[in-house]
Amino acid sequence: MINLILFGPPGSGKGTQAVKLVEKYNLLHISTGDLFRYEMGNNTPLGLEAKSYIEKGQLVPDSVTIGMLKNKVDTNPDVSGYIFDGFPRTINQAEALDSLLAEKKLVIDKLLSLKVEDDEIVKRILHRGKTSGRADDNDASIIQNRINVYKQETSPVFDYYAKTGKSVLVEGMGDIDEIFERLNAEVHAI
Ligand code: AMP
């Protein structure tokens, strides 16, 4: 069992790299952003609630996000590991994840944080916005808000897992395969 957190600012390549890690290590990919977009696409009550936050580039409240995440983990017990993408985004979420895993006698093995410069992030997200159809990828002020939220609320999660020696910073600039090799080296070192 390997349990990873793929971490980093919006547009740092978490989704792209998660797909490649999943293929190589046979993990279950849990992206809270994807789960919210699925709910929004189906106009469920959860989706409608999430939409009002997502479209402003704000975090969906922890109570909603943690409940959804817990449900996804609980309904997929027979896996060889999880890769959490876009979760946890607050210290409260990190503590909830650790207790959820502890109940199952599991732990997070590593938090892999992709390091990408701010202007590159904005460029990548606006580029993705041309095809993603995401309202939150198409407006510079919403993107800036997402970056600010990352810095204020999410980046402390790196320090939280650093306390147990689990956080590593990985250069996220460059070629997709090159970045994947850097992540692989970190997974092999577990
Ligand atoms: P992402 O696809 O990971 O960039 O997430 C898109 C949006 O979904 C974020 O800007 C948040 O509004 C919301 N979201 C995704 N994951 C979380 C989370 N763990 N906590 C709160 N909001 C989240």
DSSP characters for the chain?
Answer: ---EEEE-STTSSHHHHHHHHHHHHTPEEEEHHHHHHHHHHTT-HHHHHHHHHHTTTPPPPHHHHHHHHHHHHHT--S-S-EEEES---SHHHHHHHHHHHHHTT----EEEEEE--HHHHHHHHHHHHHHH--GGGS-HHHHHHHHHHIIIIITHHHHHHHTTT-EEEEE--S-HHHHHHHHHHHHHT-
pLDDT digits (tens, 9 = 90+) for 13-57: 999 999 999 999 999 999 999 999 999 999 999 999 999 999 999
Q: Is the CB of 146 under 6 A from ligand 1?
A: yes
Homologous superfamily of the 2-117+155-188 domain (CATH): P-loop containing nucleotide triphosphate hydrolases (3.40.50.300)
What pLDDT is stored for residue 175 in this prediction? Answer: 96
pTM of the shown model: 0.97
What pLDDT is stored for residue 37 in this prediction? Answer: 97
* Mean per-residue pLDDT of the chain: 97
What are the extents of the domains in the chain? 2-117+155-188
Q: Is the CB of 33 under 6 A from ligand 1?
A: yes
Q: Can you tell me the mean pLDDT for 134-141?
A: 93
Indicate the top mutation candidate among 16, 32, 68 to test ligand 1's pocket, ranked by most ligand atoms within 8 A of CB.
Answer: 32
Confidence band, pLDDT 50/70/90 cuts, at residue 163? very high
Q: Per mean pLDDT, which range of 58-62, 83-87, 139-143, 177-181 is the poorest?
A: 139-143
What pLDDT is stored for residue 24 in this prediction? Answer: 95
What pLDDT is stored for residue 189 in this prediction? Answer: 95
Q: Is the CB of 59 under 6 A from ligand 1?
A: yes
pLDDT digits (tens, 9 = 90+) for 51-93: 999 999 999 999 999 999 999 999 999 999 999 999 999 999 9
- For the chain, what percent of residues have pLDDT higher than 70? 100
Report the separation in Å between the CA atom of 143 and the middle of ligand 1, taken as the mean of its atom positions.
12
What pLDDT is stored for residue 165 in this prediction? Answer: 98
